[in-house]
Structure 1
């Protein structure tokens, strides 16, 4: 179905903004899913950990090469050997339950198998993140609908155009929320599989 909003100059830019903002919310959720801890090692598990490096907060992947040579191990090789202790401390104090060890050159982060309780807790946390992102998409929809109403009030579009644009905005919202829910279901299944 071709977009009706794209045919109306007053709404073309709005549609682009709404689409961009919704896609950004979906990508942010995808990042949250990648960083979620599962029973298997993933380089993305350390994405949310920041290291205090000369007064600025830096992500680990900008200070070191992060690899997963085994299913239960993350290997962190700092570009600057002087940062080994800083990176290890950041991982240890991240609250994610990691117990990193280093030999002065490389940091090894063993990933213990997740207990049933930890799996359920991880799913519960991700469900909260899902709700936050769904709310974000609904807020974007509200902003779009407000802009459509204003355009109609200012006589830039007709009442029919307003109705079509509002319906289209709802369809975009429904599609993006379904995408979020589908991504969550896949991750939930991955988390609960032993």
Structure 2
């Protein structure tokens, strides 16, 4: 495995971790809260974004305006059944989600969720590292590279892994600050 390929895979893990962080609510309205909401639309699971226009008119409200008015009930049901913990308000034209202020306990829970997501990202990085190290060891066993080259490559792989682990820690610190800021 080449270092560029390793970095590319690790970069994808960082992006996935960032997307996961975006789905955690911070007390401010954000359309990314609805990224994982899937609606049962005519028998198939469809992402909410492809069924409606989602906007944030102010810091505590998300409005959802379906392209097809007949899908209002399915969208409401999908939001109610999702893990975002918000109750949809339907006025016949739009669905409104009011983002309540977070309590101190809820903020602590969300920090734990963010930490768990960061740890999942770090596990993914370690899996990528393990695969890369295994590939280097195979090359060494088949005598494609020397023992010294193998050790040097493994050291480089570890340095890259440490670098990307720090990036996840930095993302987590930003998210924790975002969650705990009132």
| Coarse TM-score class (shorter-chain normalised) | over 0.9
Q: Does 1:158 align with 2:137?
A: no
Q: For 2:72, which of 75, 78, 84 is the aligned residue?
A: 84
Query: 1:182 offset after TM fit, Å?
Result: 0.2
- Write out the 4+ residue segments of structure 1 that deviate beyond 6 Å after TM superposition: none
Q: Name structure 2 gaps, 5 residues minimum.
A: none
Q: Does 1:66 align with 2:54?
A: yes
Q: For 1:34, which of 2, 22, 37 is the aligned residue?
A: 22
Q: Does 1:125 align with 2:113?
A: yes
Query: 1:88 offset after TM fit, Å?
Result: 1.1
Aligned equivalent of 1:8: none
Q: Does 1:23 align with 2:11?
A: yes
Aligned equivalent of 1:57: 45
Q: Name structure 1 gaps, 5 residues minimum.
A: 1-10
TM-score, normalised by the number of residues in structure 1: 0.90
Query: 1:104 offset after TM fit, Å?
Result: 2.1
- Report the Cα distance in structure 1 between the residues aligned to 2:109 and 2:14, rounded to whole angstroms: 22
Query: 1:52 offset after TM fit, Å?
Result: 1.1
Query: 1:118 offset after TM fit, Å?
Result: 0.6
Aligned equivalent of 1:149: 137
SS in 2 for 1:65: strand
Aligned equivalent of 1:7: none
Q: Deviations over 1:95-154 (max 9, x none)?
A: 322011112221100000111111000000111111111011001101100000001111
- Report the Cα distance in structure 2 between the residues aligned to 1:53 and 1:156, rounded to whole angstroms: 54
Aligned equivalent of 1:95: 83
- Report the Cα distance in structure 2 between the residues aligned to 1:57 and 1:18, rounded to whole angstroms: 34
**Pairwise CA RMSD:** 1.1
